[in-house]
Every structure is written in structure tokens, then in C-alpha cells.
């Protein structure tokens, strides 16, 4: 039995995608469970449990937004979260297996978000926004380089045991 070593960059990107996908999956499932719950009451309990100042302007504004949430809106956000989670998990597994299709999918999906991230940086610069933009840019460039060097496996290049 042969052991296979992973390319460090691909493994890191795969784990990153898998963690993001798992978190979004939890968010989506959580939102589905909240869809018919009294969200405003749950939010109030959360504020009390965290010992936050309910009279705070920010908390009050957030409470108004939570109170205005409609079940249909929560459902839409949950479904988008679950769909995006599925794509991230697919990318993560494919990259872990070092498949070229996963690199193409990741390059395309990540590249599509770069203009929005650039807009966010221009609109309101912060270290977090710049970091996210740079991280995604590095991921795209790294995967593009891997694809150009043909270091990833395509479906046809998988060897089958005799």
C-alpha cells in the first residue's frame, strides 16, 4: 500500500474550504430551525444570557432588524447558506483529493467574488477586508499556477489497480 503526500498549499486551501463549508452548513441548519421560532424572543434571551446592555444603540438597532425578519427571508438565507456550504465542501474534498476540476471550480467561484471584495475594501477599508481580499487572491493565483503546471490529477489520469 502506498502512502500519498498532499501538496501543502492544496491541503491548506482544502481545509480552509472544508471549515468554511462546515460553518455555513451549521448556519443554514440553524436558520432552518429558527424559521418558525419567535426570533425576537430568542434574540432577547441571547442578549440577557450574554449580559449585553439592551439599551445600547447598536443592540437596539439590531433588535429592530431581528424583529422585522420574516420566515420567508430566513428561509432564503438558509437555502443560500446551505447551497454555498455544499459548494465549499465539494471544493474542499476535491482539492484534498488534488483534482483539477476542484481547482477550476475554486478558481472560478473565488474569482467571481473578488470584484465585490475589492469594492468592499474601497468602500470601507479595514484590515479584515484587505486580508480577505489578499487571501482569496493568493488562493486563485496559487491554484491557477498549479493548473498551469499540470500538478493536479484529472479524472483520466487516475491509475486503477490491475
Distance between CA 148 and CA 151 in Å, rounded? 8
Mean pLDDT to the nearest integer, 74-97 = 95
Tell me: the pLDDT tens digits for 136-149? 999 999 999 998 88
96 has pLDDT over 90 = yes
The band of 28, judged by pLDDT with boundaries at 50, 70 and 90, is very high
Contact 95, 125 (CB under 8 A): no
Segment 72-85 mean pLDDT: 92
Residue 74: which of 53, 43, 120 has the closest Cα? 43
* pLDDT value at residue 70: 81
Is pLDDT above 60 for 4? no
d(CA 146, CA 140): 10
In the structure grid, which three cell numbers stand for residue 132, read together? 480577505
pTM: 0.77
Residues 70-91, mean pLDDT to the nearest whole number: 93
Amino acid at each position: 500500500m502506498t502512502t500519498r503526500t498532499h501538496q501543502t498549499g492544496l491541503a491548506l486551501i482544502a481545509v480552509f474550504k472544508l471549515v468554511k463549508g462546515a460553518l455555513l452548513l451549521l448556519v443554514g441548519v440553524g436558520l432552518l430551525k429558527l424559521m418558525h421560532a419567535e426570533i425576537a424572543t430568542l434574540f432577547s434571551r441571547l442578549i440577557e444570557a450574554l449580559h449585553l446592555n439592551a439599551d445600547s444603540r447598536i443592540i437596539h438597532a439590531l433588535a429592530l432588524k431581528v424583529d422585522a425578519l420574516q420566515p420567508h427571508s430566513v428561509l432564503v438565507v438558509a437555502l443560500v447558506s446551505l447551497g454555498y456550504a455544499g459548494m465549499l465542501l465539494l471544493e474542499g474534498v476535491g482539492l484534498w483529493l488534488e483534482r483539477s476540476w476542484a481547482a477550476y471550480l475554486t478558481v472560478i467561484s473565488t474569482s467571481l467574488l473578488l470584484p465585490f471584495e475589492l469594492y468592499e475594501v474601497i468602500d470601507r477599508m479595514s484590515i479584515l477586508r484587505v486580508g480577505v481580499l489578499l487571501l482569496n487572491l493568493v488562493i486563485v493565483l496559487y491554484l491557477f499556477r498549479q493548473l498551469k503546471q499540470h500538478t493536479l490529477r484529472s479524472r483520466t489520469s487516475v491509475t486503477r489497480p490491475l
